[in-house]
């Protein structure tokens, strides 16, 4: 047996009980709703569509349901496949990448929770399903969906299932930047997806070769305004609603700007302000290196997120808010 086959067998053995229970439920169901979280990300929508395609291929009537809002490439390429509400009764509800009932969306009261399977890699998951497969061994829910399909002997040939799942996996593992020694399964699973027909170049182009000229112009503007404080430990910049109107691009994504800011030598924290003067509103997003916890800063303004990626929306005057943010950051940096 090759090393990859041995590792795969180890995973299938480790999770055999839960995988059998899930497979049993799928076998006995005909109409299946596949649900994801509100404001879906790449892992969510890719896992949903990958699983739906696979279930359809084995003769089930599976429907992807997500309330939205869809943004960027997911709006462009994925949204059209989704229903936004639960309008039928289903034999089974498979809920992917959703840590608690509320995150499923406004329609969660229409879900029969006696008929639910929750599959998720967030360790904070409430285990709100009838059957719950929750494991933080995985960086993406898509990895778990793929393992489930392998355990069901799904035939990946001549379908887009492994491509959707690879797109999803790479979006959550940040094209391998989040691999850690306790989260190496992502490597194995992506290898297996590619072996089953997925192409990482397609995933890359979907994510990184999809910018419009308006995006690039706004991106350039944000970079031009880049400033550095605290000996280069903190980079920050901003865009206003006016800027977005001028370039006719209301849905500017901050990912591009963060990638550049975090690439600067010595940077520990990046801050991106989106200023809406008319509404007196400022969206603040943070990224940081592993040793700085920016979720604390976001939380102090009532926001939240992860240790290295967090955000908050506040009301107030920009100069005043900026001063408060920088004071909080200075305190956190002094501790590192
Ligand atoms: Mn995820």
Model pLDDT, residue 184: 83
Q: Are residues 83 and 162 located together in one domain of the fold? A: yes
Q: Are residues 50 and 180 located together in one domain of the fold? A: yes
Reported pTM: 0.85
Report the CATH number at residue 17. 3.90.1640.10
Tell me the mean pLDDT in the region 259-275: 96
Domain count, the chain: 2
Domain boundary, last residue among 208, 225, 255: 208
81, β-bridge pairs: none
Q: How far is the CA of 43 from the centre of ligand 1 (A)?
A: 5
Q: Are residues 69 and 118 located together in one domain of the fold? A: yes
Q: How far is the CA of 64 from the centre of ligand 1 (A)?
A: 16
For residues 336 and 325, the answer to whether their CB atoms sit within 8 Å is no
For residues 256 and 237, the answer to whether their CB atoms sit within 8 Å is no
Q: How far is the CA of 243 from the centre of ligand 1 (A)?
A: 32
Q: Are residues 131 and 62 located together in one domain of the fold? A: yes
- String of DSSP letters for 36-73: --SS--HHHHHHHHHHHHHHHHTT-EEEEE------HH
For residue 309, pLDDT over 90 is answered with no
Percent of the chain with pLDDT over 90: 82
Domain boundary, last residue among 171, 192, 208: 208
Q: How far is the CA of 237 from the centre of ligand 1 (A)?
A: 28
Domain boundary, last residue among 191, 208, 225: 208
Model pLDDT, residue 123: 85
Q: Place 163 in a pLDDT band, splitting at 50, 70 and 90.
A: very high
Report the CATH number at residue 221. 3.10.310.30
Model pLDDT, residue 72: 84
Q: How far is the CA of 176 from the centre of ligand 1 (A)?
A: 14
Of 242, 275, 236, nearest to 258 by C-alpha is 236
Count CB neighbours of 96 within 10 A.
30
Q: How far is the CA of 230 from the centre of ligand 1 (A)?
A: 33
Q: Are residues 74 and 39 located together in one domain of the fold? A: yes
Q: How far is the CA of 178 from the centre of ligand 1 (A)?
A: 12
Q: Are residues 184 and 287 located together in one domain of the fold? A: no
Domain that holds residue 230: 214-335
Q: How far is the CA of 36 from the centre of ligand 1 (A)?
A: 10
Q: How far is the CA of 65 from the centre of ligand 1 (A)?
A: 16
185-232 tens-digit pLDDT:
999 999 999 999 999 999 999 998 888 888 899 999 999 999 999 999
Q: Are residues 220 and 97 located together in one domain of the fold? A: no
Q: Are residues 229 and 156 located together in one domain of the fold? A: no
Q: How far is the CA of 14 from the centre of ligand 1 (A)?
A: 21
Model pLDDT, residue 139: 92
Q: Are residues 251 and 130 located together in one domain of the fold? A: no
pLDDT averaged over the chain? Answer: 94
């Amino acid at each position: 047996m090759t090393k990859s086959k041995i590792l795969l067998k180890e995973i299938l053995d480790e999770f055999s009980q839960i995988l059998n229970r899930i497979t049993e439920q799928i076998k006995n169901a005909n109409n299946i709703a596949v649900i994801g979280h509100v404001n879906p990300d790449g892992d969510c929508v890719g896992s949903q569509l990958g699983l739906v395609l696979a279930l359809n291929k084995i003769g089930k009537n599976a429907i992807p349901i997500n309330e939205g809002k869809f943004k960027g490439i997911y709006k462009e390429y994925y949204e059209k496949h989704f229903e936004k509400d639960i309008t039928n009764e289903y034999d089974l509800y498979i809920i992917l990448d959703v840590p608690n009932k509320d995150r499923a969306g406004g329609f969660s009261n229409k879900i029969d929770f006696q008929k639910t399977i929750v599959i998720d890699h967030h360790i904070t998951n409430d285990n709100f399903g009838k059957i719950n497969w929750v494991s933080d061994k995985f960086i993406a829910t898509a990895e778990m969906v793929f393992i489930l399909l392998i355990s069901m002997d799904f035939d990946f040939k001549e379908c887009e299932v492994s491509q959707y799942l690879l797109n999803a996996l790479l979006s959550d593992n940040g094209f391998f930047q989040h691999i850690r020694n306790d989260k190496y399964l992502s490597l194995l699973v992506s290898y297996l997806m590619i072996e089953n027909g997925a192409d990482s170049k397609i995933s890359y182009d979907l994510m990184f070769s999809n910018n419009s000229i308006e995006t690039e112009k706004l991106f350039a503007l944000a970079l031009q305004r880049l400033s550095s404080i605290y000996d280069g430990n903190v980079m920050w910049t901003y865009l206003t609603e006016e800027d977005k109107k001028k370039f006719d691009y209301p849905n500017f994504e901050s990912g591009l700007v963060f990638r550049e800011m975090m690439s600067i030598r010595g940077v520990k924290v990046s801050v991106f302000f989106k200023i809406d003067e008319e509404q007196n509103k400022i969206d603040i997003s943070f990224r940081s290196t592993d040793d700085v916890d920016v979720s604390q800063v976001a939380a102090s303004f009532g926001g939240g997120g992860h240790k290295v990626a967090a955000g908050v929306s506040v009301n107030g005057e920009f100069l005043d808010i900026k001063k408060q943010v920088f004071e909080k950051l200075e305190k956190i940096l002094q501790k590192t």
